Chains A and B, each alone.
Chain A
Amino acid sequence: MIDFGYTLTRDRQLDFDRGDFRYLKLVKSLEPSMDLCIGCGSCTATCSAGGFTDFNIRKLHTVIRRGDPESIKAELKKCMFCGKCQLVCPRGVNLRNLILAMNRAIEILG
């Protein structure tokens, strides 16, 4: 094989057809209210961890829904479990439990 000085890269596109939805299934069974998200971003806006880092709680549960759980694994650790997100969610999503469920899914599925 020849080294040309650059490489072919897996593209960044979310390929829904090749998504990994095992995490979504498990997380949903643990916290069904995740379906109610309307993507408003209230959770991210009030997030204590988000105030200091680029932690974005709204994005995290969205990528799980898109079958792209890989990117959240490191991110999840940033959550401080203050629970403010849950107070502000206009749809009553149990965000605190949702994060626990995502952690649990990573524990089980790796």
Chain B
Amino acid sequence: MDNTVIVIGGGISGLTAAGMLAQQGLDVTLLEKENETGGHLARWDRLFPDRKKASDVLDFAMKGLNNAKIVTGVTITGISRHQNGFTVTSPLSQYTASALLVATGFELFEARKKEEYGYGIYNNVITSADLEEQFKSGRKVLTSEGKTPGRIGFIHCVGSRDEKVGNLYCSKVCCVTGVKQAIELKEMFPASEVFNFYMDLRMFDRHFEELYYEAQQKWGVSFIRGRLSECSENPDGSIILKTEDTLTGKPLKMTIDLLVLLSGFVPSGGTRGISKMLGLQEGDDGFINSADQHSQNNLSGIEGVFLAGALKGPISVSEAVADARAAAAQVTCYISSIAVTHD
């Protein structure tokens, strides 16, 4: 046993944790399956609630990597446990370490599975991730017909709080994402009407409620309490929504030029794969259970295996960063404890 640690996953959690661990003098190797690190954050434009550039947050994590080794393009095919810790195998190489930190994260819910919303069928139905990509490209957001959208709708809880797709849980960050993106579109198109269709707005963190307030007061974003039931397409490509305005108790129909689906979180393929290899505890929602959600949320219940980030369920970027640091601290304690035992 030595002071080697392998971090699996190079999203914001993995990068932050790797940097912390390296800073504490441990020998860190981060394995990432893609060719680039940065995960979802690398594809995101701006973050709620202050609209900070995602790239700034990512840059900060990259700068803090110290001498952690980053290996990208690694497909892990096996993990074995032995007296010196763990060996992680990929088709090209093997990596050995005393401790593993799993930070394999989430994927966005595949929006086309909500068949009645028409993603992948109707041209003007996009996801929040598609929209963010357009923001990042710096291009104007246009309808598929190349027109400026006059009316835009955001649909909350897509793939979340929905037993029909097998996800009972709330993805938590979509609420505020919808509010943030609504403001950004109002900024881009002041004359447009922007609607959020929601069931509850969970403004759980600092300055979120204020952002909601700003969206209403400064930007005139409208909020309609009702879950989208179905949409269909007009001959001109615009979208017809059917929902109930539950606050008036009437069915409501509205034509929208651009519909944005706020896709929720699901455990990533990487999370599912690594979980099987290690025998991690999967919850009924498919996310990974820690040893204790309250007091041991970075322990996996398996000695030497630690958890960080969205593999345990939906979280925001700031929470992921905090959780990664907490996990790094746990790993450091573990490494020093085994060093003591061996001395």
Report which A residues bind B (CB closer than 8 A): 12-17, 35-36, 38-39, 58-59, 62-63, 65-66, 68, 91
Select the stretch in B212-220, B264-272, B280-288 that faces chain A.
B212-220
In the bound complex, residues from chain B placing their C-beta under 8 Å from that of A14 are 245, 248, 250-253
B247 x A58 contact (CB < 8 A): yes
A13 x B213 contact (CB < 8 A): no
In the bound complex, residues from chain A placing their C-beta under 8 Å from that of B87 are none
Q: What's the Cα separation between A36 and B212 when bound, in Å?
A: 9
In the bound complex, residues from chain B placing their C-beta under 8 Å from that of A58 are 247
If A14-B252, A15-B253, A16-B252 touch, whether A62 touches B247 (CB-CB below 8 Å) is: yes
In the bound complex, residues from chain A placing their C-beta under 8 Å from that of B249 are 59
A16 x B254 contact (CB < 8 A): yes
Interchain nearest-CB distance for A22 vs B (Å):
16
B251 x A12 contact (CB < 8 A): yes
- Contact among B247, B254, B255 with A39 in the assembled complex (CB-CB below 8 Å): B247
A13 x B254 contact (CB < 8 A): no
B251 x A13 contact (CB < 8 A): yes
Q: What's the Cα separation between A12 and B250 when bound, in Å?
A: 7
- Residues 183 to 210 of chain B near chain A (Cβ within 8 Å): 201
B223 x A38 contact (CB < 8 A): yes
List 22 contacting pairs A-B, 8 Å CB cutoff, sorted by A.
A12-B251, A13-B250, A14-B248, A14-B250, A14-B253, A15-B253, A16-B252, A16-B253, A35-B216, A35-B220, A38-B201, A38-B223, A39-B225, A39-B247, A59-B247, A59-B248, A62-B247, A62-B248, A63-B248, A66-B245, A66-B252, A68-B248
Q: Is B222 on the interface with A (CB-CB < 8 A)? A: yes
With CB as the reference atom, state the residue of chain B lying closest to A40.
B247
Interchain nearest-CB distance for B239 vs A (Å):
12
Q: List 12 extra interface pairs beyond A13-B252, A62-B245, CB under 8 A.
A: A12-B250, A13-B253, A14-B253, A15-B253, A16-B253, A35-B216, A36-B217, A38-B223, A39-B223, A58-B247, A59-B247, A68-B248
If A17-B254, A17-B255 touch, whether A36 touches B213 (CB-CB below 8 Å) is: yes
B223 x A66 contact (CB < 8 A): no
With CB as the reference atom, state the residue of chain A lying closest to B209.
A38
With CB as the reference atom, state the residue of chain B lying closest to A65.
B222
Q: Among the interface residues B212, B223, B245, which one has the most CB atoms of the partner chain A within 10 A?
A: B245
- Contact among A12, A15, A35 with B217 in the assembled complex (CB-CB below 8 Å): A35
Interchain nearest-CB distance for B194 vs A (Å):
13
Interchain nearest-CB distance for B129 vs A (Å):
27
Q: Contact flags (1/0) for B217-232 with A, using CB distance below 8 Å?
A: 1001011010000000
Q: What's the Cα separation between A32 and B151 when bound, in Å?
A: 21
Q: What's the Cα separation between A58 and B248 when bound, in Å?
A: 9
Interchain nearest-CB distance for A44 vs B (Å):
10
- Contact among B201, B223, B255 with A16 in the assembled complex (CB-CB below 8 Å): B255
Interchain nearest-CB distance for A95 vs B (Å):
15
Q: What's the Cα separation between A58 and B213 when bound, in Å?
A: 18
- Residues 81 to 108 of chain B near chain A (Cβ within 8 Å): none
Q: What's the Cα separation between A15 and B225 when bound, in Å?
A: 16
